[in-house]
């Protein structure tokens, strides 16, 4: 085998450098009066996207992009900037010798007044006829157009353009009007057409129209730009959105607050917090009073980043500008608080909202249920459910489904059943595949395999499609009960019904395989896995072959992990280790754990301080935790042998097992400690923690009876 001693040393070495990724704690920063841009951006460049995954695009920072602007328009006086950061600018500009710096126009673009068109009824009907018509060629469309009941005046054309859908028809009409040469095509016709194209996410066509406007000298106004920018955003073409925003300044069009907040949202969506804050501050310095929409953009951004300081900043800004949150801002705030891990604050904010007379809607309640679910506050969540029923607050199927999945997460079987029945009785909503998935999850984690299969049959009867997640829950449940024949049947049916297995389903099949006691069952599961991910099956064969070289394993495993979704990588490794241990391939298990460590799947597995070394196996499967313990003991043996320095205390964390996946880890870890005769004992004061002193370790190492698990 690949030399175990060096490997254990390597593993050890790697464990030392892996303790940089600590769970963040929002209270880390002291209280601040303004949002600390620099600190928090580092703080919230969170582990969400790994460094090797591509950024949405490579923009130069906005501050670079706006540099020419800042030279000409913005004050470069640092003192003045600093003052602006402390005090919001007053509405009257005190120093008339200095021009007011401006990045946005405080005047919203005026819209032409709507005038009543007496022909509206006829034209709407005609538009509906066109909308419903199923023509086969453009010519056919044009020939119907000839029947237009009124002359195509400027107003009538606008009305038609606004009523035609989908975008193909609106665009055809627009082009038709253009060729008729009835009147010059002004900005508004382009704007209305672009809006229609935006519904169809036709950014290429929108850009084409914009270029046509430029070529023909037709003015692009704020409405044009904001439509282009938001379309680019919806098409995930963020570089395009920024490009058109910059073009505004270059062509001398000052964005108004609508365009400005659209751009804020562009930067927020790609997580460029610093750019958003820079724009925000510049806007504020220009005398802009952000409205509800701008604040909800900021809230959403900080929520996504889990940045509580950012959320506090938004609250404080709203307070100092005397902007009362509206329903949407409250909803965004509640969700953000949940993501920042502040369920208590979310709860009091919700009470404040109700007291201030804002009636919660479905989204409010959904957000709050999610907050409580994540915090595992089942009591609050269930009380909220009672309260929404007695207050007659609006409920929709998403809220029902959110409640159901919360019950699934917290193992609230009876409550889930009640909700599910409620939903079936309800006038407005029927359980859909999401609801069934939640129920399958409930029965799956409660090991109610018969109930789960009943649901599966019920779904077929009611014509509810099983989705990939429901399939995964059911397969997990069947696997745990060793009902492999049913498992294969469910898998086959699922594939036949068009479910495309994802990494989670593969991980689930792997875990089922890891606890199959006989080879026939394991091979059946392997057969399913082969249909879902043949590469993974090939890798398992490599693991089982005696002659496979470590380097080969390393390359192949790397390829598997690269292909896998981020959140499935560690489960893959855990299950593969378990599969190896089940087949007594301990060396392979150690090799896999080592590879998992160097590929960064187990950050924070081992931590060292001057006084204590600790092993944290909470994110490991049972087999992986056993392997890690063996690896740790081997490296400790070596250190004692070489008489190197050891700390006073050693600890191994398995966690208290409150999470449904981690149950049983502590007890099986304890029995493995016993098997190895390792000198650890359950800590009295630390839950889910095994401890040993330096003396324990040293005397164990010196008087140790050789154990096969700990020898080369």
Partner DNA sequence: CTAGGGTTAG
Site for DNA in 33-62 (CB under 7 A): none
Q: Please select the residue that binds DNA; options are 262, 407, 455, 526, rule is CB under 7 A.
A: 262
Contact status: 568 vs DNA (CB under 7 A): no
Tokens 């001693």 sit on residue: 5
- Pick the piece of the chain touching DNA (CB under 7 A) from 149-157, 305-313, 432-440, 659-667: 432-440
Q: Please select the residue that binds DNA; options are 191, 202, 533, 614, rule is CB under 7 A.
A: 191
Contact status: 508 vs DNA (CB under 7 A): no
Closest CA to 628 of 647, 653, 649, 645: 653
How would you class 312 by CB atoms within 10 Å of its CB: exposed for 0-12, middle for 13-18, buried for 19 or more? buried
- Pick the piece of the chain touching DNA (CB under 7 A) from 188-196, 576-584, 616-624, 648-656: 188-196
Minimum CB–partner distance for residue 430 and DNA (Å): 12
At 607, which helix (H) or strand (E)?
A: strand 606-608
- Pick the piece of the chain touching DNA (CB under 7 A) from 35-43, 190-198, 666-674, 694-702: 190-198
Which one, 230 or 614, has the nearer CB to DNA? 230
Q: Binding mask 530-549 vs DNA (x if CB under 7 A, - otherwise)?
A: --------------------
481 Cβ neighbours under 8 A, 6+ residues apart: 447, 449
The whole-angstrom separation of Cα 322 and Cα 512 is: 57
Which one, 100 or 124, has the nearer CB to DNA? 124
Which one, 508 or 689, has the nearer CB to DNA? 508
Sites for DNA among residues 213-232 (CB under 7 A): 221-223, 225-227, 230
Contact status: 426 vs DNA (CB under 7 A): no
Q: Which ranges of 254-326 does DSSP label H, i.e. alpha helix?
A: 257-269, 273-285, 292-304, 308-320
Closest CA to 227 of 251, 250, 247, 244: 244
Contact status: 193 vs DNA (CB under 7 A): no
Minimum CB–partner distance for residue 621 and DNA (Å): 19
Which one, 8 or 332, has the nearer CB to DNA? 332
How would you class 114 by CB atoms within 10 Å of its CB: exposed for 0-12, middle for 13-18, buried for 19 or more? exposed
Q: Which ranges of 118-182 does DSSP label H, i.e. alpha helix?
A: 120-132, 138-145, 154-163, 167-180
Sites for DNA among residues 294-353 (CB under 7 A): 294-297, 300, 326-329, 331-332, 335
Contact status: 258 vs DNA (CB under 7 A): yes
Minimum CB–partner distance for residue 495 and DNA (Å): 15
Q: Please select the residue that binds DNA; options are 8, 40, 196, 654, rule is CB under 7 A.
A: 196
Contact status: 162 vs DNA (CB under 7 A): yes
Q: Please select the residue that binds DNA; options are 8, 437, 494, 627, rule is CB under 7 A.
A: 437
The whole-angstrom separation of Cα 548 and Cα 519 is: 21
Q: Which two tokens stand for residue 625?
A: 């935790």
Contact status: 152 vs DNA (CB under 7 A): no
**Residues in the chain, overall count:** 712
Task: Tell me how far apart the terminal alpha carbons of the chain are, to the nearest angstrom.
Answer: 9
503 Cβ neighbours under 8 A, 6+ residues apart: 533, 564, 565, 567, 568, 572
Q: Please select the residue that binds DNA; options are 103, 423, 469, 560, rule is CB under 7 A.
A: 469
Contact indicator for 465, 431 with CB cutoff of 8 Å: no
Tokens 């920024």 sit on residue: 242
Contact status: 434 vs DNA (CB under 7 A): yes
Minimum CB–partner distance for residue 581 and DNA (Å): 28
Contact status: 503 vs DNA (CB under 7 A): no
Query: What are the beta bridge partners of residue 480?
Result: none
Minimum CB–partner distance for residue 462 and DNA (Å): 16
Contact status: 257 vs DNA (CB under 7 A): yes
**Dihedral angle computed from the Cα positions of residues 428, 430, 431 and 433, in that order, rounded to the nearest 10 degrees:** -110
Q: Please select the residue that binds DNA; options are 98, 108, 659, 686, rule is CB under 7 A.
A: 108
Query: What are the beta bridge partners of residue 616?
Result: 653
Which one, 494 or 586, has the nearer CB to DNA? 494
Tokens 């406007």 sit on residue: 213
Query: What are the beta bridge partners of residue 651?
Result: 614, 691
The whole-angstrom separation of Cα 486 and Cα 482 is: 9
- Pick the piece of the chain touching DNA (CB under 7 A) from 26-34, 48-56, 466-474, 662-670: 466-474
Sites for DNA among residues 375-404 (CB under 7 A): 396-399, 401-402
């Amino acid at each position: 085998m690949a030399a175990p001693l060096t490997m254990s040393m390597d593993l050890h070495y790697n464990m030392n450098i892996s303790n940089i990724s600590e769970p963040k704690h929002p209270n880390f920063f002291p209280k601040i009066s303004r949002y600390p841009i620099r600190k928090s951006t580092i703080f919230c460049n969170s582990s969400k996207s790994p460094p090797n995954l591509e950024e949405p695009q490579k923009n130069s920072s906005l501050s670079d992009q706006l540099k020419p602007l800042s030279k000409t328009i913005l004050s470069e006086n640092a003192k003045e900037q600093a003052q602006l950061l402390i005090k919001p600018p007053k509405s009257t500009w005190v120093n008339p010798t200095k021009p007011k710096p401006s990045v946005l126009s405080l005047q919203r673009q005026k819209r032409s007044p709507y005038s009543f068109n007496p022909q509206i009824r006829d034209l709407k009907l005609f538009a509906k006829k066109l909308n419903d018509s199923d023509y086969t060629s453009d010519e056919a469309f044009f020939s119907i157009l000839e029947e237009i009941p009124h002359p195509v005046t400027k107003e009538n054309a606008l009305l038609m353009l606004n009523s035609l859908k989908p975008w193909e028809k609106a665009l055809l009409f627009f082009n038709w009007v253009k060729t008729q040469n009835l009147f010059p095509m002004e900005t508004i016709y382009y704007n209305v057409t672009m809006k229609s194209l935006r519904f169809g996410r036709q950014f290429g066509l929108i850009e084409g129209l914009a270029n046509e406007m430029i070529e023909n000298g037709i003015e692009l106004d704020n409405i044009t730009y904001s439509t282009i920018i938001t379309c680019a955003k919806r098409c995930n073409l963020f570089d395009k959105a920024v490009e058109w925003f910059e073009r505004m300044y270059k062509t001398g069009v000052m964005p108004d607050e609508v365009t400005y907040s659209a751009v804020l949202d562009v930067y927020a969506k790609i997580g460029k917090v610093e750019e958003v804050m820079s724009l925000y501050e510049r806007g504020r310095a220009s005398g802009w009073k952000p409205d509800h929409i701008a604040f909800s953009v900021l809230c959403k951004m900080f929520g996504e980043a889990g940045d509580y300081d950012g959320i506090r900043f938004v609250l404080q800004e709203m307070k100092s500008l005397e902007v009362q949150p509206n329903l949407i801002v409250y909803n965004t705030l509640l969700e953000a608080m949940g993501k920042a891990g502040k369920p208590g604050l979310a709860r009091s904010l919700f009470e404040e909202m109700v007291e201030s007379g804002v009636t919660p809607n479905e989204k409010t309640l959904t957000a709050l249920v999610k907050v409580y679910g994540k915090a595992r506050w089942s009591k609050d969540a269930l009380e909220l459910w009672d309260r929404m029923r007695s207050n007659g607050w609006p409920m929709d199927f998403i809220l029902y489904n959110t409640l159901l999945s919360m019950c699934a997460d917290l193992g609230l079987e009876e409550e889930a059943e009640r909700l599910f029945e409620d939903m079936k009785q309800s006038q407005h909503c029927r359980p859909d595949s999401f609801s069934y998935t939640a129920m399958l999850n409930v029965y799956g984690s409660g090991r109610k395999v018969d109930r789960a299969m009943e649901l599966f049959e019920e779904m077929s009867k009611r014509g509810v499609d099983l989705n990939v997640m429901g399939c995964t829950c059911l397969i997990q449940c069947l696997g745990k009960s060793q009902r492999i024949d049913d498992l294969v049947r469910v898998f086959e049916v699922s594939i036949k019904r068009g479910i495309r297995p994802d990494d989670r389903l593969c991980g689930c099949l792997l875990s089922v395989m890891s606890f199959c006691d006989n080879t026939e069952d394991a091979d059946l599961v392997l057969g399913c896995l082969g249909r879902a991910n043949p590469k993974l099956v090939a890798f398992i064969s490599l693991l089982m072959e005696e002659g496979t070289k470590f380097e080969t394993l390393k390359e192949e495993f790397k390829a598997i992990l690269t292909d896998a979704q981020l959140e499935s990588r560690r489960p893959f490794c855990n299950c593969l280790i378990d599969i190896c241990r089940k087949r007594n391939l301990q060396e392979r298990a150690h090799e896999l754990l080592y590879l998992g460590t160097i590929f960064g799947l187990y950050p924070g597995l081992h931590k060292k301080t001057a006084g204590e070394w600790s092993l944290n196996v909470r994110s490991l499967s049972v087999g992986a935790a056993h392997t890690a313990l063996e690896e740790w003991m081997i490296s400790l043996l070596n250190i004692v042998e070489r008489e190197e320095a050891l700390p006073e205390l050693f600890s191994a964390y398995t966690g208290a097992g409150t999470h449904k996946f981690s149950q049983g880890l502590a007890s099986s870890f304890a029995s493995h400690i016993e098997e190895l005769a390792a000198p650890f004992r359950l800590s009295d004061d630390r839950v889910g923690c095994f401890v040993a002193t330096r003396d324990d370790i040293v005397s164990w190492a010196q008087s140790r009876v050789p154990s096969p698990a700990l020898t080369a």
